[in-house]
Structure formats: C-alpha cells, structure tokens
Structure 1
Amino acid sequence: IEEQQVRRIVRAVGGSGFNLNLFPNVACSMAFFRVLQPISVTETEIHHSVITMDGGPAAANRYRLRLHEHFQGPMGFGTPDDSEAWERVQKGANAGENLWIMLNRGLPGEKPSEDGLVSDVSAETGMRAAYQQWKKMMTAEVK
C-alpha cells in the first residue's frame, strides 16, 4: 500500500471520532460497540466488540483493531480508567443512604437547544440526562 492510500484509510476510519450512548445500555464509537448488561444491584457485565468493515481494506480493519486494543485493553487508554471510576461509584453508593454522586463536570457550560441540553464534549451532560431519564422511569406510575 502506498503512503497516500494509508493516509486516506486512516482519515476514513479515524475521522474526528465520536461517542454515541443509547439509553439505557448501549455505547459505540469509531472503534467499538459496547453493551452494559445489569446482572444484579452490585454487578454489571460489559460486552465489547470491535467494529470493522465487512469487505473493507485489511489495513483499515487492522487499524481499527489496534485502535480498539489501545483503548479497551487491560493497559488501554480508556477501559481501566472507566472501570476504576465505575467501581468507585459503586463503593460510594454503598457507603450510606441518600449520598450524592457528583456529575457536575460541564454544568455551567450547558445550553438549551431544540434537541435538549448541549455542552462541551468533555461534559457529563449525557450522563446527567441518562440518570434523569432512569429516575423518571423508575418513579413513573405503573399503568
């Protein structure tokens, strides 16, 4: 493969990236598809799948796999960090009754739009929205 082809493939599979969370338990990005499956009050299974292109260039699929391994692996950029955060939230939730879990990152920068609140990519706006929806569903009257 020529350098120009590699550059085109990297741009095509890397792009600017994105994170898409579908309430209540699906997440995906340029590199992975993730399903969170609650098992009990204290346990959740997380299933990861790398996203590749059926019939796509082998070099592009290798790049996607390396990107997935870089983020999701045991020494990866994201999964160890995410797992540690989830464990700490669980420990904090077990520390007592009626304790707050702070999800305030980006709160001052939120702005209303036609689709709801929008904010900076590093804000916890999506997490707040998920918890608000969960609370709404859990406190709704059963019909």
Structure 2
Amino acid sequence: MRHETFSNERTREIVSSHLGLEGPLLPILHAVRETFGYVPEAAVPVIAEELNLSRAEVHGVVTFYHDFNRAPHGRHVVKICRAEACQSVGVETLVAHAERSLGVSMGETSPDGRVTLEPIYCLGLCACAPAAMVDGRIIGRLDMEAIDEIVAEVDR
C-alpha cells in the first residue's frame, strides 16, 4: 500500500473529517496512520491545535498505543510476542535469533526499509510456545526453524 507524503494541510483535512465524532482523537490517529503509514511527530501539534488539546495529551496517546508507529514501517512487519507467558517458554532466545538473522534490533526498521521488528504483547497462542505475526498473519509455535522461514519470506 502506498502512503501519502506528510503535510499539515492533509492532517487538518483528516481532523476536520472526524470532528463530528464523540472522542475523535483515536479515529483521527488511525486515519493519520492509514494515510501516511505512521503518525509523524509533526502531526501532533496540528492535531492538538485542531482539537484544542495539549501536545502532551496527543503525544501521550500516540506513545501509549503500539499501533501508532512514529516512523515508517518496513515493507514487512514482524512482531514477536514478548508477554510473560512467551517469556516463560524462551522467547528471548528466539528474539535474539530473529535480530541476528534479520539484521535489525527489536523496535527498529532496517536501513533499507525491508523489515520492521516489533514486540507485541499477547496473541493468545502462548499455551506451549511463543507466537509471532508477519505482515498481519499469525504464526503459532514459534521456534528457530519458524524464525528462519520468516527471514526467508521477508528476504524474497
């Protein structure tokens, strides 16, 4: 999906189209993310001004929710569950393997824009093995072989 280049004007249009909603901040942030592919830092003061909120209030919501990325994602997004249940069955070893294999640290995007590696907290599949999500597709029973398959998929 191609995203638009950020502009204050387009951000104001998005805000304006949501002003009739009760509690419009979350829908506006979702629309900004859909439009630009992320929530640019420059959008925060525009949204705050248009909604008569402080920048801190808008920034707090953006940083609270993991789905409001503040930089463009890579072409592929790999999310590995780091909730307590997955930690108890060894997900940290898998995270380290994924970081080495993908060439990117958790929470970052590769310099070539190929992949973003992010934490996620609970996919509901943690009965016996960690889980992951690749480009929105859930993968259960995550192990080293599954990580290697993910790496091969994003390298295509």
**Interval containing the TM-score (normalised by the shorter chain):** under 0.3
**Structure 2 length-normalised TM:** 0.23
Which structure is higher in RCO with an 8 Å CA cutoff and minimum separation 6?
2
Normalized per residue, the structure richer in helix is 2
TM normalised by structure 1 equals 0.24
Structure of higher CA gyration radius: 1
